[in-house]
């Protein structure tokens, strides 16, 4: 049976593990403007990134945007996922396709659409000016709101599909039983559906949070030149600054923090779910 | 089933065969891979060089389209590789100098270029041919900026608060303009720091791309920007109200060059391509459409175009080459300051 893992294993080690090891080695080198990089074994790049208030604020923005977008996707996605999970018959597959539909459009194309909508000469501003409601265009683009809106539009299908798969596995009878015993619909949601859907909440949030932490296109195109998140900062160091060692160190800091937070987050939700289950069985 | 030696070997053989296939397919035709920008530049290469000049010689031109930064990164990443992606790489003079210094380019054998004798002598480098060039100017909207500016320093006039725009991708050029306005020089961008922060408090606007800046100039959201004259010409043609001035502090010319990476796989075809880039007919097309000046002495421009994009002798006297060594050394610091302080 182990041989079944071999093709995927070889592919992953060739295309993911090997480049990552190389990148980690590069992150320990020193930058040189004339020779690009000098072989070294030092943690200087990591220390510089951590000590620099600029990169700390970039990391802060990234964490805030990723957390906010994940929560928003959860709040918006849960009702839709519930509706999808409880749907019956032939409309269900159509609805699933509709949820998937946004994934058919690439991130960049989607962001370009948002730009056409939100820009100073974009559809919304042009419409409002045409109606005489505003004199000067509203600054809808190049701010945190535009980035969060762009990201949520990208990640929402992942959240909805992950949640609905889990909600589907919750027997409908449990909700009916609660209602029969006189529980208000909100109580049913809070005491029955949500606790049982916790594994889905954890899986969806982890997936979405990782995607949000690594946002590039939405941050660059909708956030504008003054909005900084980690992925564009990494790109800046590699491609504009030619400083590969520092760019690699930033990439590993982003990777490390994302990893720690997702592991901690899912462990916390997992513990809560198990505790509730054991409470119910005892 | 356990992992057997045979299973491992056959999987490895499949992987090796799959990896080898593109190489077999590639070795057949007579080709040249040109790393270039897309948009107008790539299209003009296709219309005026690839099809009419290279096609009849039986050489197929493949464009590898990207912006300059990814192209530089690719050249650097492939430095140690025996076979590189590009046979010809197109870059601006500053970038090309940086790439030459990193030992990614061949020293050209000008004896293999039939057009070598026509190159404007001042534009010639050992590692690249000049393709087209333009000058750094200050563009302004004459309807809004009624007193014609004469220098970069005019951008700091409080009258124009919030009306000066910058293209984010031209951070190095913008920093140069600020340095010159603050009494710096081609080899000292130090004074730019104070001047940029001053301009920041005057609400200067930064746009993510040249196109976004053009849209803001068109909508009269901003009135002034340091830019290439050629861009100004294109934008004027597109109906944006603009005039230009070569600032009295002095400015530099931007030169777009083409070179041969050391690990180019089709060097003969690459030389043929460089030669074609220097043909007068190929060069005048770029002047007409994009406003760039020819780099060969025997390309004549139609008078109406020449009058709009050529530089007077007084203008030319204010132009100098950038200090490439200084730029290579200061580049990281310039980018850091731009990102962290000016934009931060």
**The residue to which tokens 């295309």 are assigned:** A15
Does residue B226 sit in the same domain as residue B318? yes
B222 lies in the same domain as B325: yes
Could you identify the residue written with the tokens 């941050």?
A219
What's the whole-number average pLDDT of chain B? 89
Query: Does residue B208 sit in the same domain as residue B282?
Result: no
In chain B, % of residues over pLDDT 70: 92
Residue B218 sits in the same domain as residue B121: no
pLDDT at residue B8 greater than cutoff 70: no
- Rounded CA-CA distance A252/A230 in Å is 11
The CATH number assigned to the domain holding B195 equals 3.40.190.10
B160 and B50 in one domain?
Answer: no
CB-based contact A228 B3, cutoff 8 Å: no
- Label residue B19 by pLDDT band (50, 70, 90): very low
Q: Which helix (H) or strand (E) holds B283?
A: helix B280-290
* Tokens encoding B72: 């530089």
Same domain assignment for residues B186 and B244 = yes
Question: In terms of domains, do B12 and B51 share one?
Answer: yes
| Average pLDDT value for residue range A66-91 | 94
Q: What is the pLDDT of residue A276?
A: 79
Answer for the pair B87, B261: CB distance below 8 angstroms, yes or no.
yes
Residue B206 to residue A228, Cβ atoms within 8 A: no
Chain-chain contact of B11 with A34 (C-beta, under 8 angstroms): no
Q: Quick one: pLDDT band at residue A19, thresholds 50, 70, 90? A: very high
Angle among Cα A87, A92, A96 to the nearest 5 degrees reads: 115
How many C-beta neighbours within 10 Å does residue B333 have?
15
Same domain, B111 and B232: no
- Return the percentage of chain A with pLDDT > 90, whole number: 67
The answer on B267 and B144 residing in a single domain is: no
Kindly report the number of other CB atoms within 10 A of residue A223's CB atom.
Answer: 25
Residue A257 has pLDDT above 50, yes or no: yes
Q: Which of A121, A226, A238 sits opposite B219 (nearest CB)?
A: A121
pLDDT of residue B26: 46
Predicted confidence band at B39 (pLDDT cuts at 50, 70, 90)?
Answer: confident
Q: Which of A268, A81, A89, A72 is nearest to A189 (CA)?
A: A81
- Assign B318 a pLDDT band (cuts: 50, 70, 90): confident
Question: To the nearest whole angstrom, how far is the Cα of A23 from the nearest Cα of chain B?
Answer: 12
Q: Do A225 and B206 touch (CB under 8 A)?
A: yes
In this predicted model, what pLDDT tens digit does every residue of B194-224 receive, in sequence order? 999 999 999 999 998 888 899 899 989 999 9
Per-residue pLDDT of A209-227, as tens digits, reads 999 999 999 999 899 888 9
Please give the pLDDT value at position B21. 46
pLDDT of B1 strictly over 70: no
Asked if B181 and B153 touch (Cβ cutoff 8 Å), the reply is yes
List the one residue out of B256, B242, B248 whose CA is nearest residue B292.
B256
To the nearest whole Å, the CA of A262 is away from the closest chain B CA by 29
Nearest CA in chain A to B335: A241
* C-alpha–C-alpha distance, residues B107 and B127, integer Å: 5
CA distance A170 to chain B (A): 37
The domain in which residue B116 lies consists of 3-133+254-306
- Averaged pLDDT, A145-149: 94
Strands B319-320 and B224-228: unpaired
Give the burial string for B186-206 (b: 16+ CB within 10 Å, else e): beebebbbebbeebeebebbb
Is B209 within 8 Å of A221 (Cβ atoms)? no
pLDDT confidence band for A76 (50 / 70 / 90): very high
User: What is residue B18's predicted lDDT score, i.e. its pLDDT?
Assistant: 46
Cα–Cα–Cα angle for B298, B299, B300, rounded to 5 degrees: 110
pLDDT band at A270 (very low <50, low <70, confident <90, very high): confident
Q: Is the pLDDT of residue B5 over 90?
A: no
What is the mean predicted confidence (pLDDT) over B244-262?
93
The pairing of strands B165-167 and B293-294 is unpaired
Q: Which residues of B133-148 are buried (b: 16+ CB within 10 A; e: fewer)?
A: bbbbbbbbbeeebeee
What is the average pLDDT across B252-273?
A: 95
Given this model, what pLDDT does residue A25 score? 96
User: What average pLDDT does this structure show over B73-99?
Assistant: 92
- Residue A182's contacts (CB-CB under 8 Å, 6 or more residues apart) are none
A36: which strand partners?
Answer: A32
Q: Which helix (H) or strand (E) holds B257?
A: strand B251-259
Percent of chain B past pLDDT 90, that is, above it, reads: 67
Mean pLDDT, range B273-284, rounded to an integer: 93
Residue B10 has pLDDT above 80, yes or no: no
B11 with A10: Cβ contact below 8 A: yes
Least confident window among A269-273, B41-45, B93-97 = A269-273
The stretch B103-127 carries a mean pLDDT of 94
Q: What is the mean pLDDT of residues A55-60?
A: 96
CB contact (8 A) between residue A35 and residue B208: no
* Pairing verdict, β B205-207 and B224-228: unpaired
Give the integer Cα–Cα distance in Å for B242 and A97: 50
Token pair recorded at residue B77: 């990443």
CB–CB of B94/B170 below 8 Å? no
Residue A225 near residue B208 (C-beta atoms within 8 A): yes
8 Å CB contact of A3 and B73: no
Interface test with B, best of A240, A241, A244 (most B CBs within 10 A): A240
**Looking at the predicted structure, is the pLDDT value of residue A249 above 50?**
yes
Nearest CA in chain B to A219: B208
Query: Looking at the structure, do residues B83 and B17 belong to the same domain, yes or no?
Result: yes
SS3 B320: strand
Please check whether residue A168 is in contact with residue A174, taking contact to mean a CB–CB distance below 8 angstroms: no
CB contact under 8 A, A54 and B206: no
Q: How far is B210 from chain A (nearest CA, A)?
A: 12
User: Which of B101, B211, B340 should one mutate to test binding to chain A, selecting the residue with the greatest count of A CBs within 10 A?
Assistant: B340
Answer whether residue B80 shows pLDDT above 70.
yes
pLDDT digits (tens, 9 = 90+) for B226-241: 999 999 999 999 999 9
pLDDT single digits (tens) B142-163: 999 999 999 999 999 999 999 9
A164 pLDDT band (50/70/90 cuts)?
A: very high
> B336: which chain A residues are within 8 Å (Cβ-Cβ)?
241
* Alpha-carbon dihedral angle through residues B108, B114, B120, B124, given to the nearest 10 degrees: 0
B115 and B182 inside one domain: no
Q: Are B89 and B13 members of one domain? A: yes
Report ipTM for this prediction: 0.80
Tokens of A239: 């491609």
CA distance A212 to A26: 25
- Measured between beta carbons, which residues in chain B are less than 8 angstroms from residue A120? 215-216, 219, 221
Spatial CB neighbours of B287, under 8 Å, sequence gap ≥ 6 = B132, B293, B294, B299, B301, B305, B309
Q: How many domains does chain B have?
A: 2
What DSSP designation does B188 have? B
């Amino acid at each position: 049976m182990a041989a079944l893992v071999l093709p995927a294993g070889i592919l992953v080690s060739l295309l993911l593990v090997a480049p990552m090891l190389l990148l980690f080695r590069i992150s320990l080198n020193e930058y040189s403007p004339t020779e690009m990089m000098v072989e070294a074994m030092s943690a200087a790049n990591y220390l510089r990134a951590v000590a620099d208030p600029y990169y700390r604020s970039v990391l802060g923005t990234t964490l805030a945007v990723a957390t906010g977008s994940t929560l928003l996707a959860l709040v918006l996605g849960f009702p839709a996922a519930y509706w999808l999970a409880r749907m019956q018959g032939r409309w269900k597959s159509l609805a699933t396709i509709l949820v998937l539909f946004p994934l058919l459009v690439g991130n960049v194309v989607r962001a370009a659409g948002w730009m056409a909508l939100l820009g100073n000469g974009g559809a919304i501003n042009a419409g409002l000016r045409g109606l005489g409601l505003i004199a000067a265009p509203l600054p809808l683009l190049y701010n945190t709101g535009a980035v969060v809106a762009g990201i949520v539009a990208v990640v929402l299908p992942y959240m909805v599909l992950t949640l609905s798969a889990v909600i589907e596995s919750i027997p409908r009878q449990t909700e009916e039983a609660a209602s029969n015993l006189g529980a208000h619909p909100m109580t049913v949601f809070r005491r029955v559906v949500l606790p049982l859907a916790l594994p889905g909440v954890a899986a969806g949030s982890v997936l979405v949070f990782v995607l949000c932490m690594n946002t590039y296109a939405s941050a660059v195109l909708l956030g504008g030149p003054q909005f900084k998140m980690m992925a564009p900062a990494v790109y800046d160091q590699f491609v504009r600054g030619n400083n590969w060692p520092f760019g690699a160190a930033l990439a590993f800091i982003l990777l490390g923090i994302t990893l720690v937070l997702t592991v901690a987050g899912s462990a916390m939700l997992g513990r809560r779910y198990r505790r509730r289950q054991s409470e119910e069985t005892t | 089933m356990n992992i057997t030696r045979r299973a491992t070997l056959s999987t490895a053989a499949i992987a090796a065969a799959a990896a080898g296939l593109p190489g077999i397919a590639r070795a057949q035709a007579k080709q040249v891979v040109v790393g270039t920008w897309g948009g107008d530049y790539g299209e003009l290469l296709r219309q005026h060089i690839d099809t009419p000049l290279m096609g009849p010689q039986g050489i197929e031109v493949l464009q590898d389209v990207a912006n300059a930064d990814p192209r530089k990164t690719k050249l650097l990443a492939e430095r140690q590789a025996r076979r590189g992606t590009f046979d010809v790489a197109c870059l601006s003079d500053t970038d090309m100098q940086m790439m030459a210094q990193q030992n990614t380019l061949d020293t050209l054998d000008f004896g293999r270029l039939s057009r070598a004798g026509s190159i404007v002598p001042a534009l010639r480098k050992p590692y690249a041919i000049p393709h087209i060039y333009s000058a750094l100017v200050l563009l302004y909207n004459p309807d809004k900026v009624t007193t014609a500016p004469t220098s970069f320093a005019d951008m700091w006039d409080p009258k124009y608060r919030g009306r000066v725009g910058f293209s984010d991708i031209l951070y190095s050029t913008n920093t140069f303009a600020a340095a010159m306005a603050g009494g710096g020089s081609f080899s000292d961008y130090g004074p730019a720091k104070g001047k940029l922060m001053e301009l920041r408090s005057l609400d200067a606007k930064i746009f993510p791309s040249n196109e976004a800046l053009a849209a803001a100039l068109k909508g009269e959201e901003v009135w002034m920007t340091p830019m290439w004259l050629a861009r100004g010409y294109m934008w004027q043609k597109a109906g944006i109200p603009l005039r230009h001035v070569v600032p009295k502090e002095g400015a530099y010319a931007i030169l777009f060059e083409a070179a041969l990476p050391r690990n180019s796989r089709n060097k003969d075809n690459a030389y043929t391509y460089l030669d074609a880039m220097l043909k007068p007919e190929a060069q005048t097309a770029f002047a007409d459409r994009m406003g760039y000046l020819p780099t060969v002495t025997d390309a004549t421009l139609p008078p109406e175009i020449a009058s709009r994009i050529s530089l007077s002798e007084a203008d030319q006297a204010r132009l100098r080459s950038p200090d490439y060594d200084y730029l290579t050394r200061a580049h990281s610091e310039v980018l850091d300051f731009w990102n962290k302080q000016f934009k931060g």
